């Protein structure tokens, strides 16, 4: 149920794709860019935030966004790099929301004993809150850069 198979009606069916339904969706390709750019905000081992020596060896998030837009034509009408980054941050916040839901599912499965690694699953509880707060921070930054009003923290 997680495969796309071509040629079922022929004598040579073949698997053409495997899907991870927790992450797969049909949507704006900028969702993929937002998810990719999260590595700049997450600490090791899942990201590069705060890694000494990464600067100069890896492209900056601004360079990644600029190159993506150059190659795909995405956001071609947005000439201000800061606004372009803010728009991508909205997609990054969406990716955090999605990851938070996935991590929450892992934690719940661990809590009920239905996980391949119960101990590891339980350790992810803090990550669920952290990724949600990261997403909120990214969204607040984006809204501020785009002239909107961030959500008051007291409403959370």
Model pLDDT for residues 59-106, shown as the tens digit of each residue:
999 999 999 999 999 999 999 999 999 999 999 999 999 889 888 998
CA angle 71, 76, 78 (to 5 degrees): 135
Confidence of residue 140 (pLDDT cuts 50, 70, 90): very high
pLDDT at 47: 85
Q: Which of 24, 3, 1 is nearest to 102 (CA)?
A: 24
Residue pair 121/107 in contact (Cβ under 8 Å)? The answer is: yes
Count Cβ atoms below 10 Å from residue 83 Cβ, excluding itself: 15
Q: What is the pLDDT of residues 25-70, one digit of tens each?
A: 678 889 999 999 999 998 888 888 888 777 778 899 999 999 999 9
Q: Which of 138, 65, 59 is nearest to 95 (CA)?
A: 138
Confidence of residue 155 (pLDDT cuts 50, 70, 90): very low
Query: Whole-model pTM?
Result: 0.78
């Amino acid at each position: 149920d997680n495969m796309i198979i071509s040629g079922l009606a022929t004598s040579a069916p073949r698997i053409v794709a495997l899907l991870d339904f927790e992450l797969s969706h049909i949507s704006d390709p900028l969702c993929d860019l937002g998810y990719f750019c999260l590595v700049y905000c997450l600490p090791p081992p899942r990201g590069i935030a705060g890694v000494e020596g990464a600067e100069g060896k890896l492209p900056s998030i601004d360079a990644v966004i600029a190159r993506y837009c150059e190659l795909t034509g995405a956001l071609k009408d947005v000439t201000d790099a800061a606004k372009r980054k803010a728009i991508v941050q909205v997609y990054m916040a969406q990716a955090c929301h999605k990851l938070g839901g996935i991590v929450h599912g892992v934690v719940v499965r661990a809590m009920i004993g239905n996980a391949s690694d119960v101990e590891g699953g339980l350790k992810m509880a803090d990550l669920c809150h952290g990724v949600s707060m990261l997403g909120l921070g990214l969204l607040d930054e984006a809204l501020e850069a785009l002239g909107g009003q961030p959500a008051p923290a007291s409403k959370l």
